[in-house]
Amino acid sequence: MLILHPYQLNLLPSNFSRQTIFSNSSSLHVSLTLTSSIREKKVFLVIPKAKRSKRNQNLQEEIIDIEAEVDSDDDDEDEEFSSRKPFRGREEEKDYDRDPEFAEILGGCVDEPEKAQARVEERIRKKRNKILQPKTGNATPMQVRFNKFDFSSSYLWFEFHNAPLPSDISLICDTIRSWHIVGRLGGCNSMNMQLSQAPLDKKPSYDPIQGANVTPTTFYNIGDFEVQENLGRIWMDIGTSEPLLLDILINALTQISSDYVGIKQLVFGGSEFENWKENLTSDVAGCSVHKI
């Protein structure tokens, strides 16, 4: 849309050539040619004649519709603007694309909360097997015994209720590996228990000077996890006599025995255990060695 004053055609740029095609009492048809170094662009205008009033000679402004097909090769800015994609707001945000059913439930929870609650309960009943995983461990509490245990060099023996699966062995190895890392970094130091020994009715506080001056503890070394049928063992050198380190491991293995893989008993110390056979390699059925 272009607003053009009919009496200002003489103000057009010099690169416009003006040519009157025909004229009648109602309108004036003018052909304008824009000369460019690349090509000529023609624009056809239909300019209504100004109506004169008897009392004044002022011309009234009228809107002129311009219909033209012009290549805008020399107008880079306009071309760039026209090629831009429209603004679509927060298009990159996730709108529950992976679960449209849940999005629909959330959308109606404000207007109809009771209906939304009923749909959530129905959804849980249908997908109960995927949401709630049954425990694969054993309800019988894990027994813990000590047999000539030495912090500097001892075996830790496992007796499972059944031969562990590869996933069970991987879980046990990950647990022992994490326990060893925390112990090696001095995380299990019973001499620095400021928060756990502080009164519960007071605001927690920590003294960094006291924490830095306590005797450090560390976990010196640990061996591989060996498995023979339903038995397992691992050699360890804790180094310092730190019972807290043992408590942490026992707590973790107790939960694993209850929820994932049943452990019949855990024995600290001793060079022999049950039907364990020395010098068996992983080539023998039921035998395997796993790096910690």
Domain membership of residue 230 (yes or no) is yes
Q: Is the distance from CB of 247 to CB of 125 less than 8 angstroms?
A: no
According to DSSP, the residues that pair with 27 across neighbouring strands are: 48
167 with 227, same domain: the answer is yes
Q: What would the mean pLDDT of 100-126 be, rounded to a whole number?
A: 77
Instruction: Please say if the pLDDT value at position 116 is more than 70.
Output: yes
Residue 206 resides in a domain: no
31 or 268, greater pLDDT: 268
Give dist(CA 60, CA 68) in Å, integer: 25
Query: 285 and 157 in one domain?
Result: yes
For 123, the domain range is 100-131
Number of folded domains in the chain?
Answer: 3
Indicate if 117 and 161 belong to the same structural domain: no
Neighbour-count burial for 221-237, b at 16+ CB within 10 Å, e otherwise: ebeebbbbbbbbbbebe
Q: DSSP letter for 41, please.
A: E
pLDDT digits (tens, 9 = 90+) for 53-81: 444 455 444 444 444 444 444 455 454 44
Between 286 and 223, the higher pLDDT residue: 223
pLDDT of residue 69: 46
Q: Which residue has the higher pLDDT, 274 or 46?
A: 274
Give pLDDT, residue 285: 81
Shared-domain flag, residues 171 and 265: yes
Output the domain CATH number for residue 184: 3.30.1360
Whether residues 234 and 286 share a domain: the answer is yes
Contact yes or no for 22/42 (Cβ under 8 A): no
